[in-house]
């Protein structure tokens, strides 16, 4: 698990994060929502050890060791997919996956490569370089590369920003299927409603850097003391 307690991060003399306690457990699925500027992306970057504040932040591994962000082992198995895909321009689609899989332990690299190409529907584009792909195809390649790294925690920042709602639904179902197969934690900053109503989804609402709600979709429907949540519920399809 990744645990944050009494954690504060300041920017320009204001709280960007002010978290009493927040725990991301392995194998769970989290949706982080909130108004623009509420601290969603900063929360992800802090969990990854990229932004630093004051307070308690640690990762507990399978041996019950508490790892701090300054420990080398802390970041092992953490994968971050931001809105900038950081693809390798000199590698083809297939080479992206082959290289990523070569960094881990796999006895059937070609079989795994074919699995991820099929998963994100890029088999026909396997020899293409990133600059020849559409924005949506680049996004799917970045997602396939992230999944091929076999993460323990996969952090996504607006992963469906460049694709329409129909495609977002298709790929969210694909992502959830892969999450169950690999049993990693999925932590997603999003403005989409895709997947958020599932029974196993945990919704976290940030407001001015604070967690004002954590619970299921059914539970958030019963919460009425937040103006932002009430506005959000009014937009539900």
Position 165 pLDDT exceeds 70: yes
Quote the CA–CA distance of 47 and 213 in Å, as a whole number: 18
pLDDT, tens only, 51-66: 999 999 999 988 888 9
Phi-psi region of 85 (alpha: psi -120 to 50; beta: other; left: phi over 0): alpha
Phi-psi region of 54 (alpha: psi -120 to 50; beta: other; left: phi over 0): beta
CB atoms within 10 A of CB 61: 15
pLDDT, tens only, 34-44: 998 899 999 99
Q: Looking at residues 128-136, what average pLDDT do you find?
A: 91
For 177-189, the DSSP string reads HHHHHHT-EEEEE
Reported as type and span, the H/E element at residue 136 is helix 135-148
Q: Global pTM? A: 0.88
Angle between helices 109-119 and 93-102 (to 10 degrees): 130
Q: Which residue has the higher pLDDT, 90 or 135?
A: 90
Position 166 pLDDT exceeds 90: no
Decide if 7 contacts 56 (C-beta within 8 A): yes
How distant, in Å, are the alpha carbons of 22, 171, 218, 225 from that of 231?
A: 24, 27, 16, 11
pLDDT, tens only, 173-211: 888 889 988 999 999 998 777 778 888 889 999 999 999
SS3 percent helix, strand, coil of the chain, rounded to 5, is: 35, 25, 40
What is the structure's pLDDT at 11? 77
CB atoms within 10 A of CB 105: 6
What is the structure's pLDDT at 104? 61
């Amino acid at each position: 698990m990744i645990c944050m307690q009494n954690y504060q991060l300041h920017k320009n003399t204001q709280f960007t994060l002010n978290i009493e306690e927040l725990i991301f457990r392995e194998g769970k699925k989290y949706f982080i929502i909130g108004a623009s500027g509420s601290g969603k992306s900063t929360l992800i970057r802090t969990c990854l050890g990229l932004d630093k504040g004051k307070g308690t932040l640690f990762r507990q591994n399978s041996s019950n060791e508490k790892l701090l962000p300054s420990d080398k082992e802390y970041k092992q198995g953490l994968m971050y997919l931001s809105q900038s895909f950081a693809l390798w321009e000199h590698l083809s689609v297939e080479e992206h996956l082959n290289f990523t899989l070569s960094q881990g332990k796999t006895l059937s690299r070609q079989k795994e490569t074919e699995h991820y190409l099929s998963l994100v529907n890029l088999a026909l584009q396997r020899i293409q370089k990133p600059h020849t792909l559409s924005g949506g195809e680049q996004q799917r390649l970045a997602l396939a590369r992230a999944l091929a790294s076999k993460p323990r925690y996969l952090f996504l920042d607006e992963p469906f920003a460049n694709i329409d709602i129909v495609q977002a639904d298709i790929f969210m179902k694909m992502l959830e299927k892969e999450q169950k197969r690999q049993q990693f934690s999925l932590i997603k900053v999003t403005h989409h409603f895709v997947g958020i109503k599932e029974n196993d989804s945990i919704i976290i609402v940030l407001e001015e850097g604070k967690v004002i709600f954590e619970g299921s979709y059914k539970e958030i429907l019963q919460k009425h003391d937040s103006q932002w949540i009430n506005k959000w519920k009014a937009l539900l399809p």
